[in-house]
Structure 1
Amino acid sequence: MTDTHGTAHALRAISNEEGLDARLLVDRGTFRLDVSLRVAPGEVVALLGPNGAGKTTALRALAGLAPLDGGRLLLDGTALEDTPPESRPVGVVFQDYLLFPHLTALDNVAFGPRCQGASKAEARTRAAEWLDRLGLAEHAGSRPRRLSGGQAQRVALARALATRPRLLLLDEPLAALDARTRLEVRSQLRRHLAEFEAVAVLVTHDPLDAMVLADRLVVVEDGRVVQEGTPSDIARHPRTDYIARLVGLNLYRGEADGHTVRLGAGPGVTITETLTGPVFVAFPPSAVTLHRDRPHGSSARNLWHGEVAGLETHGDQIRADIGGELPLAADLTTVAAAELGLHPGAEVWATVKAAQTHAYPV
């Protein structure tokens, strides 16, 4: 991808607004993508969603690798819809990095500036600067097969940044790393993205990557934006089942009347807020206490009868999937699960204190 300097005359400036202003319309037969994005310079936005939601299609449309069927794509006030990919001021870090295997790390990074017309010496100087900034100076002469996963990821990032892009696209940038390396590289990537002065768009299905790396999340399901906001906002106010599962919450939609939320034909949930009308009500699996017999004298205002539909290890705890009048997930320790004698089909009573629920308008 190239820098703006050599191609400005070929691009069509239509406003003075900086940053990204896009509406991406892509038709693929039975699938239609319709996603709007506004991202300011210096901001990192994560496109988050399940597999098949349209995240990668959106990224490819931004990069010019998938043609738009409608909408707009403005970067710093310049229309890019008809600009070929190689002439866009865009840098891409692909999921598998796509480093040239026959080139050293230095020459991989120098490739972009060379394509922009820089001399070999100038391109290598710029590449060396970026490798140094990303802590890879001592690996400049190494070919990709000699690099660890984390090192290869940083070389790919350096290659994208060396073109001085106005839009940086990252496609599942940590997916190819093992868990330990991922933790370290995630932290490093966050630091580098914080220093990036243009627009950065990250595509991921990993909620932790999104929460740590992005200033703002745009959640996409079935080709549409279903929610956007800061990570803490979305974690506290999920609006779909997918997002609730992502952030580890039980989520229900119902009708509030004072301190009670009626869930359709199902049971009610007692809340501490005073609300009226359509609301979401949520609570974490850790707020659920399970009993084999109906508890008496419990201070919990919410009590539901159900049965264990499944059990699975979830971190250092057991997550119980409870079916019945109010399907829910409950977290408990291995010891507690053993003491209760939980097994699929076991009858249980679930309690949740009203103070541990959180309700908010639809």
Structure 2
Amino acid sequence: MTPDRPGPDPRRPDRPGSDPRRPDQPGLDARLVVDRGGFRLDIALTAAPGEVVALLGPNGAGKTTALRALAGLEPLTGGHLRLDGAALDRTPPESRPVGVVFQDYLLFPHLSALDNVAFGPRCRGASKVEARKQAAAWLDRMGLADHADARPRRLSGGQAQRVALARALATRPRLLLLDEPLAALDARTRLEVRAGLRRHLAEFEAVAVLVTHDPLDAMVLADRLVVVEHGRVVQEGTPGDIARHPRTDYIARLVGLNLYRGRADGHTVRLDAGPSITTTEELRGPVFVAFPPGAVTLYGKRPAGASARNLWHCEVAGLETHGDQIRADLTGELPLAADLTTVAAAELGLHPGTPVWATVKATQTHAYPA
């Protein structure tokens, strides 16, 4: 569920002993408060040099607003923004040591790939010759040396993304912002470009902040996830922590788990809304309980002698293809999602309205403190 990322890069200033929350330390230290009409963003965001942080959340959560605030394109109405100890709150966008890769790349259509990349160094005072020399080196690093003279309309989506990344990195930013950098790519190209982007981010020695709503992009590319809903941080941690311990319905759906909240008394969890669930963990007090849709077994009739400790009477609310399986959305005693093969769905005669019995073994649940 959580693809492996490269190990610590010896070229990076490592995290131990470096606290980005201290204003005299390198890295990002921000509290972003933006009031805009009926929407309020209020999130704390810190990152050490060499760290890739992904802002993850549903549409309208405030991710892009946060990114624009970091870039200086959205003024703060409160909070603070410090980068490597320097306050950036009042620094205009063009003067910030920040590189941005936009969702649609925003390459200059009248310039070649080389001159697109050279644009940044030129703006920072480099001569035309030096800027083009730097740009050529960056295109070579991106595997695009043969496309230096091509204009954006002649580039594929993956090539345009790499040119945009090279243009952002050519200014040697201390903060790299990526706004849905893979969203414009088709599925096949996305796979290849994601792998390349992961390599480039592993080599980046400053702070990188990635905005995405795609959990795979976030888990492959980021060291740490910050999940934002309704303008607030609802959970943050490593990709593995987030996947194993979701704390909201949105995160649970994102990582493919059924999630419930209740109160534990030993191995029994009485849900806030619904029946009890038996677990292998022995806990006390408020807890979450999670299990994957693949842990659910469905029966047309109440099973006799089933070993599962958890058994609920449900009704099929909907069916959809999910990879090579069928995902059943169930309502009833316990609303849940169940995955089963096409053959099993046909044998059970499943369709909306079909009554079923759902079972989950205690060993396939996971309970943890709320």
Q: What TM-score do the two structures reach when normalised by structure 1? A: 0.96
Aligned to 2:361: 353
Matches within 5 A, 1:296-335: 296-335=304-343
Separation of aligned partners in 2, 1:264 and 1:184: 44
Aligned to 1:219: 227
Would you say 1:33 and 2:41 are equivalent positions?
A: yes
Among 116, 124, 148, the residue aligned to 1:116: 124
Separation of aligned partners in 2, 1:324 and 1:159: 54
| Deviation digits for residues 88-124 of structure 1 (CA, Å, limit 9, x no counterpart) | 0000000000000000000000000000110000000
Aligned to 1:243: 251
Matches within 5 A, 1:158-197: 158-197=166-205
How far is the alpha carbon of 1:29 from its aligned partner?
Answer: 1.7
SS of the residue aligned with 2:311?
strand
Aligned to 2:141: 133
**8 A Cα contact 2:23 2:29, kept in partner:** no
Question: Kindly, what percent of the aligned residue pairs are identical?
Answer: 85
**8 A Cα contact 2:53 2:222, kept in partner:** yes
Separation of aligned partners in 2, 1:264 and 1:32: 29
**8 A Cα contact 2:27 2:206, kept in partner:** yes
Aligned to 1:62: 70
Aligned to 1:154: 162
- Paired residues in the alignment total 349
Separation of aligned partners in 2, 1:281 and 1:304: 16
Aligned to 1:9: none
Separation of aligned partners in 1, 2:211 and 2:307: 44
**Structure 1 segments (4+ residues) deviating >4 Å:** none
Aligned to 2:350: 342
SS of the residue aligned with 2:285?
strand
Separation of aligned partners in 1, 2:278 and 2:199: 43
Separation of aligned partners in 2, 1:230 and 1:56: 21
Say what the alpha-carbon RMSD is for the aligned residues.
0.8
Aligned to 1:82: 90
| Deviation digits for residues 312-336 of structure 1 (CA, Å, limit 9, x no counterpart) | 0011100000000100000001011
Would you say 1:253 and 2:255 are equivalent positions?
A: no
Distance 1:243 1:211, change over 3 A: same
| Deviation digits for residues 186-224 of structure 1 (CA, Å, limit 9, x no counterpart) | 000000000000000000000000000000000000000
SS of the residue aligned with 1:92?
strand
Code of the residue aligned with 1:293 in structure 2: it is K
| Deviation digits for residues 159-207 of structure 1 (CA, Å, limit 9, x no counterpart) | 0000000000000000000000000000000000000000000000000
Q: What TM-score do the two structures reach when normalised by structure 2? A: 0.94
How far is the alpha carbon of 1:68 from its aligned partner?
Answer: 0.2
Separation of aligned partners in 2, 1:58 and 1:15: 20
Would you say 1:105 and 2:113 are equivalent positions?
A: yes
Aligned to 2:3: none
Would you say 1:16 and 2:16 are equivalent positions?
A: no
Separation of aligned partners in 2, 1:287 and 1:62: 42
SS of the residue aligned with 1:145?
helix
Would you say 1:95 and 2:103 are equivalent positions?
A: yes
Distance 1:178 1:265, change over 3 A: closer
Separation of aligned partners in 2, 1:110 and 1:271: 59
How far is the alpha carbon of 1:266 from its aligned partner?
Answer: 1.9
Separation of aligned partners in 2, 1:125 and 1:140: 11
Distance 1:109 1:265, change over 3 A: closer
Code of the residue aligned with 2:272 in structure 1: it is G
Separation of aligned partners in 2, 1:361 and 1:16: 35
SS of the residue aligned with 1:24?
strand
Separation of aligned partners in 2, 1:116 and 1:222: 37
